[in-house]
Structures are given as C-alpha cells and as structure tokens.
Amino acid sequence: MNIGRALIIHEMQIFPTALSDVKILRPQQFGDSRGWFSETFNAKRFEEAGLPTTWAQDNQSLSARGVLRGLHYQLGEPQGKLVRALRGHIYDVAVDLRRDSPDFGKWAGFHLKSPAEGPLEMLWIPEGFAHGFLVLSSEAEVMYKTTRGYHPAGERSILWNDPTLAIDWPLEGLEPSISGKDALGQLFKEAELP
C-alpha cells in the first residue's frame, strides 16, 4: 500500500494514496483492559476532511478464504464506498474509471484487517471507481457504507483478471472463488464506463 503523510482531523488520520481522491482513514482507538472504543463516523469531522456526510446504504458480507468479489461499479448512479474489515483480512482494490482523471485505468490495492489484527482502518473510494476485494484470512466480514443505493440497471463488472489492468492480486496459491455474475464481467477495454 502506497500512502502519504496523514492529515489529522480531530484525532482521525487521513492518508492520501497512490490514486487521487482514494484515502485511508485511521480513527483513533481508545482502549484499556476491557477493550477499545472508536468513533468511526462523525458528520462534522468528515465534512472538515472533505468526505461525505450522508450515506444511502450500509452493506455487510461474510466470505470464505479465496472469495474474490468484483470489480463492481454502477453507471448512472455511481457509489462512493467507505470500506472496512470487521473481521479477518482482505486485499481491497480500487480502479479509477474517471476518464478525466490522471489516474484513469490505474489501480491500487490495500490490505484491510480487522482491528484485532492491525490498526482500525477504513478505505474511502469515491464515485467513479470500480471496487473489489479478495479474502486472505479463513473468512472475512466486510462492511461498507455507500453514497447511493444499489441501482440494478446500472450495475457493471470488469473481470478481476483483466490483462490491461493487470492487478497483482496476492493469491498466494489460492484459486479465487468467483460468482457466476462476476465471471461474466467485461474486459476493461470493452467495458461500458462512466
């Protein structure tokens, strides 16, 4: 993961990444012998950081090791996503689909782990990106907030192993488990993009 120097907004560290507008958020954790507490969302703090303050939908999934979900995006009603691993370890990938972006067609991957396995981190992926993840632990529970709801008519998918994107998934000998729908994803060069 290539991240830069953190911006600190009221004890939340916000790190830039190799993709413009994609950010790693690391909220402060307050702990003692009983456990820990963290404020993962505060509308005022998010507004100060230039992040969304209203969300349309929360999604949560449980997946076994080797499950690869993605690369998903929506036309017409694109979704920004705030992603975190509640349990387990995932490799989360964002692909810039914004034609006017200097990062168009580039991807970045991020190891997101449950707070029990590393620091509490969330990944902010703005609208205009494709998103997917690979489960690296025995199972992983992933939660993400979206800026817009699910829009079936605009749902699209790019193949996880597209040769143009050449995403370096850390498969470590795993044969990824892909849904039938994701197996029918388009090649990046042929995909209908925003």
Active-site amino acid positions: 72, 144
Distance CA 37, CA 49 (A): 21
Handedness of CA 11, 12, 18, 20 (dihedral sign): negative
Helix (H) or strand (E) holding 111: strand 107-113
Distance CA 169, CA 134 (A): 8
Residue that has been written with the tokens 């920004």 in this structure: 80
The single-letter DSSP state of residue 26 is E
Distance CA 59, CA 13 (A): 24
Distance CA 110, CA 108 (A): 7
Distance CA 46, CA 49 (A): 5
**Are 73 and 129 within 8 A, CB to CB?**
yes
